[in-house]
Homo-oligomer: A and B are copies of this chain.
Amino acid sequence: MEKNSQSQADARAARDRRQRVQSASIGMLVLKELAALGGRATLTALAAHLGENPAKVHRYLASLMEESFVTQDQGTQQYCLGPQCISIGLAAMRIADPIRLSEPSLVRLRESLEVTCFIAVMGNRGPTIMRFEEPGLPVTVNVRAGSVMSMLWSATGRLFLALLDESRVRKLAEEELSHAPANLRTQLDATDPIGRLQRDVRAAGFATVKDTNLKGISAVAAPLFDASGHLCATLTALGATGGFDASIDGPIAKALRKEAEAISAALGYVPKQADALSGCV
């Protein structure tokens, strides 16, 4: 009997804990929905979108207002995302590090595709490899963490050249071009070598190379964008040209693109189309 009531009490306590945590989730859902509605909405609209009754949503809003996550507009009576949302957003952006966030992706790509892959950022000397993962039987390449890549003949460099609108990037590419041997120069467009590369990569949103930078090596590179929509790093996979599908619709390019999109989302990037929509609200 005593044991029974003890187990009943335990069950009650467990249910209680579950409900509490569920309630924390509802608070989060209210914030998410408010963001999805453009950052502000009336109680009626918000409750309708959440599929909850307005009285219940109102209680959660009161608690969110107490912590400054939500404010109420005096004029329109709409509920708005408040200053505390900005604070945690800025704190989250400060620690959103593409290199840290890419590590699980690099491991997954190495394991599932057995390719060499790395993340690179734009350093002061050029695109620089920050993390490097190799499969059990690596292809022999002379790049590693810390290596600076070619702006014009590597997939990584071409991505920065096309998507980073900075004079220093263009300058690095022009310098490299002026010192390049004839056999490399002939791989590029004769009249507008840099402009042509930029246009092609921009159109594809992606860069691939075959035997340009390293003999017998192919590579594909996908862009990582941050919360402000800027290219902050690239995710690149490479392999021996014979056994490496560098085509833009191939399985390697697809897997890379998927991982890159997930990392960009974790960095707070919202693709252009979604941006335009939320701007209409």
Contacts of A64 in B (CB 8 A): 24, 28
Contacts of A95 in B (CB 8 A): 38-40, 80-81
Contact A84 to B32, CB < 8 A, known contacts A73-B100, A74-B103, A93-B89: yes
CB distance from A74 to the nearest CB of B (A): 6
Contact A67 to B19, CB < 8 A, known contacts A83-B267, A90-B89: no
Chain A positions near chain B (C-beta within 8 angstroms): 16-17, 19-29, 31-32, 34-35, 38-40, 59-60, 62-64, 66-67, 69, 71, 73-75, 80-96, 100, 103-104, 227, 265-268, 270, 278-279
Nearest-neighbor residue (CB-CB) of A87 within chain B:
B35
Majority-rule SS of A interface residues: helix
Which of B16, B39, B83, B88 has a CB less than 8 Å from the CB of A85?
A: B88
Contact A91 to B38, CB < 8 A, known contacts A86-B268, A268-B86: yes
Q: What separation, in Å, do the CA atoms of A92 and B88 have in the docked complex? A: 11
Contacts of A32 in B (CB 8 A): 67, 84, 87-88
Nearest-neighbor residue (CB-CB) of A96 within chain B:
B86
Q: What separation, in Å, do the CA atoms of A91 and B36 have in the docked complex? A: 8
Q: What separation, in Å, do the CA atoms of A19 and B81 have in the docked complex? A: 23
Nearest-neighbor residue (CB-CB) of A55 within chain B:
B17
Q: Is B63 a contact of A21 with CB atoms below 8 Å?
A: yes
Which of B91, B104, B227 has a CB less than 8 Å from the CB of A81?
A: B91
Contact A266 to B82, CB < 8 A, known contacts A35-B87, A90-B89: yes
